[in-house]
Amino acid sequence: MESHYPINVKPLPNHQLFLTFDNGESRLFDLRPYLTISFFAPLQKPDVFQSVRISPISVEWDGGIDICPDELYYNSIPAGESP
């Protein structure tokens, strides 16, 4: 399994992320299934979710919340053009 790292992230409605990866692919990641996990629960608040940013190899939010880049890539779907 080849690893890919996000180089750009944009929060979308309904707790979705529009991600661009280092291989040039754009993908959509749905965070909703993760929001029932206590680690990700703070992301239910819109202002916290909107604070998403690129970290050295993945994405992160305030409070030290992050997601493995492989999780982002392999559990996302191909997206069209940038929204």
> Exposed, middle or buried: residue 6 (CB in 10 Å: 0-12, 13-18, 19+)?
buried
0.95 surpassed by pTM? no
pLDDT in tens, 12-37: 999 999 999 999 999 999 999 999 99
Query: What domains can you pick out in the chain, each with its CATH number?
Result: 6-78 (3.30.2020.10)
- Chain mean pLDDT for the chain: 94
**Calpha distance 75→20 (Å, rounded):** 14
Kindly report the length of the chain: 83
